[in-house]
Structure 1
Amino acid sequence: MKLKKSWVLALVLSVMAAVLVACGGGGDTSKDSVNKSSKKEVSLMESAEIPSMDSKKGTDGVSFTAQNTVFEGLYYLDKDDKVQPGVAKADPEVNADQTVYTIKLRDDAKWSNGTPVTANDFVYSWRKIVDPKTAAEYAVIFSGVVKNATQITAGEMKPEELGVKAIDDTTLEVTLEQPVPYFHSLLTFPTFYPQNEEYVEKQGTDYAKDSDHMIYNGAFTMKGWTNTSKSWSYEKNDKYWNKGDIKLDKINLEVIKDPGSAVNLYTTGKLDRATLSGDYAKQKQNDKDFTSNLDAFVYFLKFNQKLDGKQTIFANENVRKAIATVINKETMVDTVLANGSQPIDGLVPAKFTFNPKTQEDFRKESGDLITYDKAKAQEYWKKAKQELGQDNITIEFLGDDQEFSKKMSEYIQNELETSLDGLKVNIKTVPYKSRLKLDETQQYELQLSRWGPDYQDPSTFLGVFETTSSYNRSSYSNPEYDKLLKEAATTLATQPEARWNNLLKAEKILISDDTAIAPLYQNGVAALQNPKMSGFVSHLFGAPYSYQWITIK
């Protein structure tokens, strides 16, 4: 078996060789605007195919970015992640007990076929999402928030009883179960987008199967996309109410999973922005085109405690703790990723949410809940093998076909096999969409996974692992954890400091006590970007990116 240092060195050398081949020895990557036509357009890349363009069914960052480009909700996030009116004319009017939101819609919001966007478009879309017949995974985001959503998704009430109604064409009234501190920002999330009832019903099962079976109310329309497309485009929407502020005529998108190919396309003028990782990021750090930022996506190892009705080895706490403490996360982000990612020892990311009283960062206040400690990991592993009565253990490790995921899987495999005696790790690599499906059906043992926030609150991360969460998909359950989160959502909803303390306690149970997952890193994004392009916006929550402010000189 190879020594760990030898494996890392081999990885570095192989990636460096690929860089030199792809870049012809690493010449200057600065470039002029891509020479296309007199129209203002840019070419961007995506890491994977779009799983779904139906806002009722999107569950991942790729889908959310695409939907955010062509649809608009009541509100949107601006360049600084501040909530701004979209289809809504202004901020909501909220009653005294903070449970009824009255929202006036602007008169000039239209669909791309010229039909007005009305309050009923939101009523129709939201009711469809919570209807059990739709089987929308993100129906859970309504539960405990919009009145009667929990009972409707459970089949105990009708969708028509959801706490949303159209007072008239331009007035929407939303009734909540109880005060929800983050509800205003939640309304920017793609699941809350409108859908035109007449159009969607006419399309039937063909709706959103391709770009020709959709209408749009966002800054752009979509062209040339089907369910399996590796390239498509966005074109300026002439019916968009704020079209005067949209500077681009067209955005070309291409799915590029290999960072070497991305760099090649950038250096040859075929991309205006190329995402980097590994030694590609290291080599280009001093280029004037280089840019990087830390986002709020958190990557972790997900342990499935029950598969096909039977307990897995991950039902054993010492197994989970051994794996969570044996991976050198510092070396991982420096060597494998090298894109500005930071090791993380909790689930809630840094620079995301802050104590309502002291303004201290949640990550800093919660602290390092599980850290790299090889000796301790080996102690956990020894106990685990004794408890399981096994000397040799084989596990299947699920990853996807994105290049960084492949490299991460190989690194983690090496860390586990070289440090935990008797452990064999078999990597199962599948397409990105297939991994999402295997996660949804809980058909995995160990998985490299991630979570991005839906709204700006620690509960958007912690709520994933409640017993009843449809996103748990690991059979993790702890009554005390559930109790803390339930109190934060109900009795403590109007007590910010007490609520905050509950969330801190919940994260400690999840990570330090139970080690339900193994936190790895908070994601960094490094890229080469055309210096003549500006306005490419990353968000800390909701859809990962917005393209509507992009300009090109």
Structure 2
Amino acid sequence: MVNIFPEVGILWRCFPNLNCDHSIVIKMRPFHHPLKSFAIICLLALAACAGPDQPVDQPDTATLPPEAAPTATQPTSEPLTICLGQEPNTLFPYGRLNDAARMVLQAVYDGPIDELDYQYMPAVLEELPAFENGGVRVEPVVVQAGDRVVSEDGSPIALGSSAVIRPSGCAGGDCVLVYENGEVVMDQLVVTFRLKAGLTWSDGTPLTAGDSVYAHRINANPINAASQFHIQRTVSYQALDELTIVWTGLPGFVSADYLENFWLPVPEHAWSELDPFGLGETSLSALTPMGWGAYVIENWEAGQEISLRSNPNYFRASEGLPLHDELIFRFVGQDGPENLARLQSGECDLLGPDTGLESIADELIGLGEAGEIQTAFAQSDQWWHLDFGIQHIDYTDGYNQGLGDRPNYFEDVRVRQAFAQCINRQALLEQFAWGQGSVMDSYLPPNHPLSTDQTPSYTYDSQAAGIVLETVGWIIGEDGVRVSQGVAGVLDGTRFEIGYLAADTVQDQTMVNMIAADLQACGIQVTVETQPAETLFANGPTGPIFGRQFDLAQFAWPLQSQPACYLYLSEAIPGDDLDEHSFGWGGWNATGWQNLEFDLACKTARNSLPGDVSYVDDHQNAQSIFAENLPVIPLFADVAIVAGRADLCGLDFDDTAGAIWNVESLGFGEYCP
């Protein structure tokens, strides 16, 4: 089952050991980039994640009920107007939020945990739980048949015969246990969260640990659209007192993302009398939810705007925040030139990252350099890569080119490395990311704290690439196309003629043409084929990519805070033999690349925790193995743009937090500090 957003080539699959929906995890963080050039597929091995909610039915105007509104003075400043490309589909925090909803809710909630430049910071917590302060503990527990645990592949299961699990102390892939019977000791993660004292909801009611526990119960209700990932891996979520919450996970669920096990509080005192099965459609919870952040929702004029006023009970009000007494989110669509005109006329003070600015990026840069506006760029949440079809589906019953199997072009790692040198990735960065950011050497961007500069790097050098290909046995023919001469596993005289798959979007086609031209300059004959996303990314055996029926394929994966080495695990190769392919045709390692050293390094890294002595080294070791073997060529991370008025202050467009994570500090002119 495939869920497609056809207007946009990022592929999004939901993996068994990962949370598919980050809409309510950690913070109300918007995706940094509109769905402009990608087809998003949300796909589990056995079931697909649901798509975004449809917009909540609402009256033409939704106003905060008087009984829920805090006492406040009339606004004393001009409003700050943030223009968005779309309207929220709901503001129920445990719904499936679209990008606009996440941005609006950043004004209603502060935190609860901010992530800036891949580093977490507490917003409403006293401190971040960690091993060093006793907030994180790994405890050995005894389990037996029938107990709920998390298996080696990250799935919650009832422990039974033949289940593959990690016994206590097992981090790598070489110590897993196939359960038979009896008792086994496994590791259980326990995390303690403590709220700051004195926090209140916007109506002045104290915000307590009980509100977060209440949110956990709401999330556990399957009728609500938010991901059940953490619910399914939780043993208990308890309030010890008014400020302290303890989360206990299933045995075997030891995740570096343990901060995501804090549930965004919701106001139990205001919502407890509401129908728990109707919270996603109720005005009080879905249109005007109460928060503790800088602003309070005052009015939602459908199709036009949402207006908010400053929260007099905001816990940072003593700092003079927010800078404006009134905030407006205006819905303006995604016509870049029209929205620039709105900015220049004063209708908008800030254009969000979903307002179509990519089409006029060069003009924005020029206006910014002239001081007429402000422009800001941030790394988006996806990275592009070029995949090699290393283990083609033809090789399932063994490889024999003489019997019609596709030539084994990419078995030799030197060929893959040479391809990386053939491609001018910096030119791609200039074309599609306006020169912002850096070419990637692994599945992490260079600015990620776990990235390492010790990985092999392949700079653009077609002459050097040609020498490598000649060494392997790929010799330039009379027509400029390379032919095999002594290439291991390839019949002599085989021409290096390959297909190249990509989605049929404008961006994909432009990118594929640039890369194909670079490869042809290296003597590789390339035939480009673009397809609709729903065809290109369909599950195997029919889908060309995940059916492993390709030579080269170009698409993008989500860029996440935790390193995504799992994308290239051997067990994730799609195929029909479940003994060899654990996830069947729901597997995601379409390259077919298998490397036991990498598997071990990746699993060890993913089962280590921040604070472990080897945590950084484990992740960097996996990256180094990946970069040396190159199952895919990393290209670059996409970039998002925002634009603001020239005198806007406080704009800090962060790679991981988004454009308005600090909305309370955004202002203009005389309202700036």
Superposition TM-score tier, normalisation by shorter sequence: 0.5 to 0.7
C-alpha distance in 1, partners of 2:214/2:427? 49
Residue 278 of structure 2 aligns to a residue in which SS?
A: helix
Q: Does 1:201 align with 2:318?
A: no
Deviation at 1:175, TM superposition (A): 3.9
C-alpha distance in 2, partners of 1:50/1:311? 48
Q: Does 1:537 align with 2:652?
A: yes
Give the equivalent residue in structure 1 for 2:384. Answer: 300
Give the equivalent residue in structure 1 for 2:121. Answer: 83
Change beyond 3 A, Cα 1:281–1:237: closer
Give the equivalent residue in structure 2 for 1:509. Answer: 625
Q: Does 1:353 align with 2:445?
A: no
Alignment-mate amino acid for residue 556 of structure 2: S
Change beyond 3 A, Cα 1:132–1:301: farther
Give the equivalent residue in structure 2 for 1:172. Answer: 245
76-85 vs 335-344, which moves further: 76-85
Q: Assess if the C-alpha contact under 8 Å between 2:209 and 2:245 holds in 1.
A: yes
Q: Does 1:40 align with 2:76?
A: no
Q: Assess if the C-alpha contact under 8 Å between 2:376 and 2:641 holds in 1.
A: yes
Deviation at 1:56, TM superposition (A): 5.1
Residue 397 of structure 1 aligns to a residue in which SS?
A: strand
Residue 203 of structure 1 aligns to a residue in which SS?
A: coil
Deviation at 1:410, TM superposition (A): 1.5
C-alpha distance in 1, partners of 2:367/2:560? 29
Give the equivalent residue in structure 2 for 1:31. Answer: none
Give the equivalent residue in structure 2 for 1:246. Answer: 322
Q: Does 1:415 align with 2:515?
A: yes
Deviation at 1:543, TM superposition (A): 5.0
Give the equivalent residue in structure 2 for 1:267. Answer: 344
Identity fraction in percent: 14
Alignment-mate amino acid for residue 263 of structure 1: L
Residue 240 of structure 2 aligns to a residue in which SS?
A: strand
Q: Assess if the C-alpha contact under 8 Å between 1:305 and 1:315 holds in 2.
A: no
| Structure index of larger Rg | 2
Change beyond 3 A, Cα 1:106–1:523: same
Note the alpha carbon deviations across 1:456-497, whole angstroms, 9 max, x for none.
Answer: xxx44445655789998445665533422332344676543x
Alignment-mate amino acid for residue 118 of structure 1: T
Deviation at 1:172, TM superposition (A): 0.8
Matches within 5 A, 1:396-415: 396-398=501-503, 406-407=506-507, 409-415=509-515
Deviation at 1:331, TM superposition (A): 1.6
Give the equivalent residue in structure 2 for 1:334. Answer: 430
Deviation at 1:338, TM superposition (A): 2.0
C-alpha distance in 1, partners of 2:420/2:648? 41
Alignment-mate amino acid for residue 625 of structure 2: I
Q: Assess if the C-alpha contact under 8 Å between 1:396 and 1:428 holds in 2.
A: yes
Q: Give the number of the structure whose residues are more often helix, by fraction.
A: 1
Residue 369 of structure 2 aligns to a residue in which SS?
A: coil
Change beyond 3 A, Cα 1:512–1:71: farther
C-alpha distance in 1, partners of 2:502/2:92? 30
- Aligned residue pairs: how many? 471
Q: Does 1:68 align with 2:115?
A: no
2:293 corresponds, among 213, 218, 235, to: 218
Q: Assess if the C-alpha contact under 8 Å between 2:344 and 2:645 holds in 1.
A: no
1:366 corresponds, among 454, 462, 466, to: 454
Give the equivalent residue in structure 2 for 1:118. Answer: 208
* 5+ residue gaps, structure 2: 1-74, 139-189, 352-356, 397-405, 475-481, 546-552, 573-582
Matches within 5 A, 1:41-56: 41-46=80-85, 55=93
Residue 250 of structure 1 aligns to a residue in which SS?
A: strand
C-alpha distance in 1, partners of 2:215/2:409? 42
Change beyond 3 A, Cα 1:518–1:103: same
36-45 vs 116-125, which moves further: 36-45
Deviation at 1:396, TM superposition (A): 4.5
Note the alpha carbon deviations across 1:226-272, whole angstroms, 9 max, x for none.
Answer: 8xx7x643523537533622123113244654543443333333332
C-alpha distance in 1, partners of 2:389/2:640? 32
Q: Assess if the C-alpha contact under 8 Å between 1:179 and 1:494 holds in 2.
A: no
Deviation at 1:107, TM superposition (A): 5.8
C-alpha distance in 1, partners of 2:420/2:440? 11
Residue 251 of structure 1 aligns to a residue in which SS?
A: strand
C-alpha distance in 2, partners of 1:237/1:317? 59
C-alpha distance in 2, partners of 1:58/1:282? 34
Change beyond 3 A, Cα 1:475–1:333: closer
Deviation at 1:549, TM superposition (A): 1.5
Change beyond 3 A, Cα 1:42–1:311: farther
387-396 vs 244-253, which moves further: 387-396
C-alpha distance in 1, partners of 2:606/2:649? 39
Give the equivalent residue in structure 2 for 1:103. Answer: 193
* 5+ residue gaps, structure 1: 1-35, 143-148, 154-158, 355-361, 401-405
C-alpha distance in 2, partners of 1:508/1:252? 45
Q: Assess if the C-alpha contact under 8 Å between 1:165 and 1:173 holds in 2.
A: yes
Deviation at 1:97, TM superposition (A): 6.9
Give the equivalent residue in structure 2 for 1:549. Answer: 665
Q: Assess if the C-alpha contact under 8 Å between 2:204 and 2:313 holds in 1.
A: no
Alignment-mate amino acid for residue 193 of structure 1: L
Change beyond 3 A, Cα 1:369–1:438: farther
Give the equivalent residue in structure 1 for 2:479. Answer: none
Matches within 5 A, 1:368-517: 368-374=456-462, 376=465, 379=469, 396-398=501-503, 406-407=506-507, 409-416=509-516, 419-420=519-520, 422-427=525-530, 445=545, 446=553, 448-449=555-556, 451-454=558-561, 459-462=562-565, 473-475=588-590, 478-490=595-607, 494-496=611-613, 498-513=614-629, 515-517=630-632
C-alpha distance in 1, partners of 2:105/2:504? 25
Change beyond 3 A, Cα 1:204–1:325: farther
Alignment-mate amino acid for residue 220 of structure 1: Y
Deviation at 1:121, TM superposition (A): 3.5
Alignment-mate amino acid for residue 345 of structure 1: D
Give the equivalent residue in structure 1 for 2:68. Answer: none
Give the equivalent residue in structure 1 for 2:401. Answer: none
Query: TM-score, with normalisation over the residues of structure 2?
Result: 0.55
Change beyond 3 A, Cα 1:474–1:369: same
CA RMSD of aligned residues (A): 5.4
Deviation at 1:73, TM superposition (A): 4.5
